Amino acid sequence: MEEVVAYVTATTLTDIFYISRRHTQSIEQARQAVSETLAAMMICPVDRVVLESALNSGLPDFEDAVQIFSAVAQGLEAIVTRDAQGFLSSPIPVLSIQDLLQQVRQQNGG
């Protein structure tokens, strides 16, 4: 059985905090959301090389480009997202959560 290891970019954690705080009006709940994400996922660093690659990629959405080039730099096998349209130019496969679950089921003989 192949294990799925989930990654999130370092910059996504600030988004999680911001959205959670805005939605809940609670700094403590926002911190909890970040803490739970840190406990559940590995972190892809976002460094100068990733940012320059994203900036120079020509992709129209800089944030999506950062996600793509962070995944590439980390050597990840795929990007899982609800926004596949934003990742059409990705050099690595882009999956919906349904696609990922289907692949896991197939690999596990189910």
**pLDDT digit string (tens) for 51-64?**
999 999 999 999 99
What is the domain extent for residue 82?
Answer: 43-107
For residue 54, being part of any structural domain is answered with: yes
Residues in a beta bridge with 8? 43
Residues in a beta bridge with 95? 80
For residue 28, being part of any structural domain is answered with: no
For residue 55, being part of any structural domain is answered with: yes
Question: How many domains does the chain contain in total?
Answer: 1
pLDDT tens figures, 8-37: 999 999 999 999 999 999 999 999 999 999
For residue 97, being part of any structural domain is answered with: yes
For residue 98, being part of any structural domain is answered with: yes
Q: Compute the radius of gyration of the chain from its Cα atoms.
A: 15
Quote the percentage of the chain above a pLDDT of 90: 84
Which is more confident, 46 or 2?
46
pLDDT at 1: 53
Helix axes 27-40, 10-24, angle to 10 degrees: 150
Is the pLDDT at 74 greater than 60, yes or no? Answer: yes
Is the pLDDT at 65 greater than 80, yes or no? Answer: yes
Of the pLDDT bands very low, low, confident and very high (cuts 50, 70, 90), residue 47 is: very high
Query: Rounded to two decimals, what is the model's pTM?
Result: 0.87
For residue 95, being part of any structural domain is answered with: yes
For residue 82, being part of any structural domain is answered with: yes
CB-count exposure of residue 51 (10 Å: 0-12, 13-18, 19+): middle
For residue 50, being part of any structural domain is answered with: yes
